[in-house]
Structure 1
Amino acid sequence: MTDTAIATPIPPLVVARADHGISRKDISPNALRVLYRLRDGGFQGYLVGGAVRDLLVGGHPKDFDVATDATPEQVKALFRNCRLIGRRFRLAHVVFGKEIIEVATFRANSADDTDDRSTDDGGRLLRDNVYGSIEDDAVRRDFTANALYYAIEDFSVRDYVGGYADVQQRVLRLIGDPVERYREDPVRMLRAARLAAKLGFTIAPEAAAPIPGLAELLGGAPPARLFDECLKMFLAGHAEKSFLLLEELGLLPALFPETAKALATNRSGALRTMVLQALRNTDARIAADKPVTPAFLFAALLWPAYCRELAVLQKSGIDPLVAQQRAADRVTLHQAHRIALPRRFSLPMQEIWLLQPRFSQRVRKRVFRLLSHPRFRAAFDFLELRATAAPEVVEDVAFWREAQAQAPGELADRLQPKAPRRDADGEAGDDAMDDDAGAAPKRRRRRRRPRPGGGAGAAE
């Protein structure tokens, strides 16, 4: 097959069960249930898209999508556990407990913009509910590898655009003109990078070439959708490869503009080294089936931007504590214009950053206060991450690792209390008394209010 983009369907290829290796035991029973119900109702129904692609390369898909000639309303009439969603793409969701089987009606490209299919001035698709045949549906999908249909009638794989050969060759190829397809939906550029990283595929040259010049189109994509795409990209076990592809394709400045700017001006490369190590660690945790959190991930991805903003503010003479909070707020706000990071993740992210300077402190009271902080463990993990590229914090990592392993009394003996603060009369102030408490500050006695009717002396 040549590298030219596919514009029209080729004669369909039917790959028999004996030749493709997909087994029904690897398909969700609920997806099979939907397919059989559609068939019994007199409709066509096929397993389609990423599930077929992943099964062909030996993967284990989590999501199973179905394509059918039944309209969403007809699907709903067949399944009591069905709900209709979407305006841009009208879909049927058949719900089986925690699993949702997404059922989409075959769609077609319309020559004229109608009420059911419309684009904006830049060519971005706003609404697409023009129904058609399976051949129409195959041509309007994004990549050839995603346009494969598994039929339960004979357990064959149907290929209308050459996707089966591309999967065998591990190539991602767009269907139709790449520039037009990216303009219809700029997020396809991110999908190309994510799928190539996930599957170990290469992006066909004609599909990769326009991406750097069109990357800024991502600025018009909904920030919430970009957040979801980032989670798929960085929290699915192939974060490092995805990041490297974003750099290679020129997509990083469009997705993380301030991080890209900070990395470009960091001559030592230490910030990039740290980001890559964070992504490597994330991949390792996912492979080991350990939990990961978007807060820590974004703390690492945006740390270069935070460091750059903090340096600018401190250079202008702003108080360090004020500069730290202001830098955190600015980076979070600016990034939100591209990626809608929810507050439940952005606030812990900022706490991780703002706790970093406190790891250099060795005053007894402050050490115990930091150890008891609810975000201590995440902040310490971040400190360890920083040590991979910043030798100056290695000593802090060693101290705090030992501090966590020691008993409170033993740790208190190691630490020096803060030098007493003297008042005007030369007496030790409250700081000295608090530091003498060691692991925990003393409770202050509450002052009693004077009783009603008390004399002037009582009131004083």
Structure 2
Amino acid sequence: MIKNTIRTFVSRLFAAPVQKDKRRIYSQEQHKIDRRLVSRNAIKVCEVLQQKGYDAFIVGGAVRDLVLGYEPKDFDVATNATPEEIRPLFRRARIIGRRFQLVHVVFGQEIIETSTFRAPSQGNQHTDADGRILNDNVFGTQQEDAARRDFTLNALYYDPVREIVIDYHNGVADLKNHLVRMIGDPETRFREDPVRMLRAVRFASKLNGTIEPATQAPIHQLAGLIKNVPDSRLFDETLKLLTCGNAIVALEQLRKEGLHENVLPLIDQVLRQPGGEQFVQLTLERTDHRVRSGKSVSPSFLFAALLWRLVDVNWKKNLARKEHTVPALSQAADLVIDTHISKMAIQRRHTADMREIWFMQPRFERRIPKQIWRMTEQPRFRAACDFLQLRAACNEFDSVLAQWWMDLADATPGERTEMIDGLTAEQQAAGPASPPRKRRKRRSNASSKSRTTGGGNTTGNASSGSPAAS
């Protein structure tokens, strides 16, 4: 830590002056960022650091979204203060990270990730055999920090106090032109962190733009490096791709670049299943609609939908072998999850929810009041109803019945009671769909003995098997 502090001090003292043609400063009238879209906590972090004599800016995807007029989901701050200098300034702050040390400043449910300006790679960082950086805690100046960021549209610095944007790499222009351009040599930067290839696809898809030719050129050749990415990071990036608001385009780009084999390796297998392409297309279209409408997307629901065709095919095979409905579905789900879950880097905490969504599907086929009430108490009832709508849209389930279940999910408690009571009346008027199953009455050993000897209270009706006795 002492070395890092000295390195930062020397960098500040002897850093070359920023060339005017390398840096552009945009005023509020030029960048048009609406300060009301900025987190008050992010502004607070910048204000506290600046009051203590440090530089502090909102950076990364938040600035990108703000320039485009979107409200960011989370905010990051970059400063010339070191982690040890940042932490004492806030009541709830902790230093995290090994490869990339930073500070989490906690405000209730919101975390403002605060990092120190980094120097770009000098070729002496600890890397693996493929060039991926394993340790990156060399601090530097703001200009150096901008040079080490991945894409020009992410190398923007927004000062919420002075309301200016600082741009070192023509990122504002690239952002307005919907162009994704790597800072530095693309092949070297992709080797440093292979996830950047996925980020390039995501940004281009989200902006409905293009990847700059020189940036795109090495992706296909280096696509195999994705397998070296830790599962947790791969899952996060995959989820961001599928929830970027333009997932269909992102998926097409992944396949074009050969990245899907290490990110969504099962997608080709799913698309080959009967109705697979239609189900995936509809799933992603509805996901895109929710994202564009500002609604949340459940990872469990999304991956349950993407894997459903594989589960359904195996379910039907098990039914053809005369397996009962629920065990047949359970076996199919186990097979898909055990065989394929690790290939998609899906974290196991989501598999329980996926199973619940799948296992509720057969229960929608019968509307028995007591069972309906039990179903409405399940945590994933609404998600299962949404899933049923997908199946109905693909002609797997009766659309009228699927809408009844969705209306029930949207109903108030009083409306639910009316719907289920009304359903009960309909059933009584129409008669049962199938004959009631006879249940044998259990008898005690003493009763059985009495019947055998002809004693006790056994009557002729009981021995004749009449409905009264059953």
TM-score bracket for the superposition, by shorter chain length? 0.7 to 0.9
4+ residue segments displaced more than 6 Å: 311-315, 398-404, 444-450
- State the TM-score, normalized to the length of structure 2: 0.75
CA distance in 2, matches of 1:449, 1:376: 46
State the structure with bigger RCO (CA 8 A, min sep 6), 1 or 2.
Answer: 1
1:202-239 residue CA offsets vs partner (Å, 9 max, x unmatched): 22223334334433332222222233234433346444
1:98 aligns with 2:109: yes
CA distance in 2, matches of 1:237, 1:448: 68
Cα distance between partner residues in 2 of 1:20 and 1:162: 13
Contact 2:157/2:167, CA 8 A, preserved across alignment: yes
Matching residue of 1:257: 265
Alignment-derived partner of residue 356 in structure 1: 361
- Number of the residue aligned with 1:294: 299
Q: Over residues 316-373 of structure 1, what are the superposed CA-to-partner deviations in whole Å (9 max), with x where a residue is unaligned?
A: x58465553233123223443244534453123123323434555x6x86x8646743
Matching of residues 382-393 of structure 1 within 5 Å: 382-390=387-395, 393=398
The Cα of 1:107 is off from its aligned counterpart by: 0.9
Post-superposition offset of 1:87: 0.8
- Deviation, structure 1 residue 309: 4.7
Contact 2:283 2:305 in 1 (8 A): yes
Q: Any residues of structure 2 matched to 1:199-218 within 5 Å, and which?
A: 199-218=207-226
Matching of residues 22-61 of structure 1 within 5 Å = 22-61=33-72
- Alignment-derived partner of residue 139 in structure 2: 131
Sort the Cα spacing of 1:219 and 1:448 in 2 relative to 1 into closer, same or farther, 3 A. Answer: farther
Check 1:446–1:244 CA distance in 2 against 1; reply closer, same or farther (3 A cut). Answer: farther
| Equivalence map 1:49-198=2 (5 Å) | 49-113=60-124, 117-151=125-159, 155-198=163-206
Distance in 2 between residues matched to 1:313 and 1:211, nearest whole Å: 42
Structure 1, residues 134-156: CA drift from partner, whole Å, max 9, x if none? 22211111111001122468543
Structure 1 residues 352 and 446 mapped into 2: Cα distance closer, same or farther (>3 Å)?
farther
Whether the aligned pair in 2 keeps the contact of 1:194 and 1:233 (CA below 8 Å) is yes
1:281 aligns to 2:292 (yes or no) = no
Which residue of structure 1 lines up, in the alignment, with residue 237 of structure 2?
229
Quote the residue 2:3 is aligned against: none
Matched, 1:409 2:424: yes
Q: Normalization by structure 1: what TM-score?
A: 0.77
Amino acid in structure 1 at the alignment position of 2:165: V
Unaligned segments of structure 1, at least 5 residues: 1-8, 422-427, 431-443, 451-456
Question: Is the 8 Å Cα contact of residues 82 and 95 (structure 1) preserved in structure 2?
Answer: yes
Structure 1: which amino acid aligns with 2:424? Answer: G
Q: CA 1:370/1:156 → structure 2, altered by over 3 Å: closer, same or farther?
A: closer
Q: The residue matched to 1:128 in structure 2 has which SS?
A: coil
Question: Is residue 197–residue 238 contact of structure 1 (8 Å, CA) maintained in 2?
Answer: yes
Corresponding residue for residue 434 of structure 1: none
Equivalent AA in structure 2 for residue 164 of structure 1: V
> What is the CA-CA distance between 1:286 and the residue it aligns to?
4.6
Kindly indicate whether the alpha-carbon contact (under 8 Å) linking 1:226 and 1:340 is maintained by their aligned counterparts in 2: yes
Root-mean-square deviation over aligned CA pairs: 3.7
Residue of structure 1 equivalent to 2:15: none
Q: Return the alpha-carbon distance in structure 2 between the equivalents of residues 130 and 36 of structure 1.
A: 25
Q: Residue 259 of structure 1 contacts residue 303 of structure 1 at CA under 8 Å; is this kept in 2?
A: no
- Aligned-pair distance for 1:72? 0.8
Checking the alignment, whether the CA contact within 8 Å between 1:47 and 1:65 is kept in structure 2 is: yes
CA contact (8 A) 2:242 2:250 kept: yes
Percent identity over paired residues: 42
CA separation of 1:398/1:183 partners in 2, compared to 1, >3 Å: closer, same or farther? same
Shift of 1:73: 0.6
| Equivalent AA in structure 2 for residue 29 of structure 1 | R
What is residue 346 of structure 2 aligned with on the other side? Answer: 341
In 1, the alpha carbon distance for the partners of 2:66 and 2:406 equals 44
1:40 Cα offset (Å): 2.9
Q: 1:26-53: per-residue Cα shift (whole Å, max 9, x none)?
A: 4333323322332332322222222222
Provide Cα deviations, 1:3-44, integer angstroms capped at 9, x if missing partner.
xxxxxx994222231432235444333323322332332322
Q: Which amino acid aligns with 1:222?
A: P
Deviates most, 125-134 or 184-193: 184-193
Distance (whole Å) between structure 2 residues aligned to residue 319 and residue 187 of structure 1: 44
Where structure 2 has 5 or more consecutive residues not aligned to the other structure, the ranges are: 1-18, 409-415, 448-454, 457-470
Q: Which amino acid aligns with 1:416?
A: P
Structure 2 counterpart SS, 1:118: coil
The count of residues paired between Structure 1 and Structure 2 equals 415
* 1:326 is aligned to 2:326: no
Q: Which amino acid aligns with 1:147?
A: A
Gap change, CA 1:250 and 1:390, over 3 Å in 2: farther
Match for 1:16: what amino acid?
Y
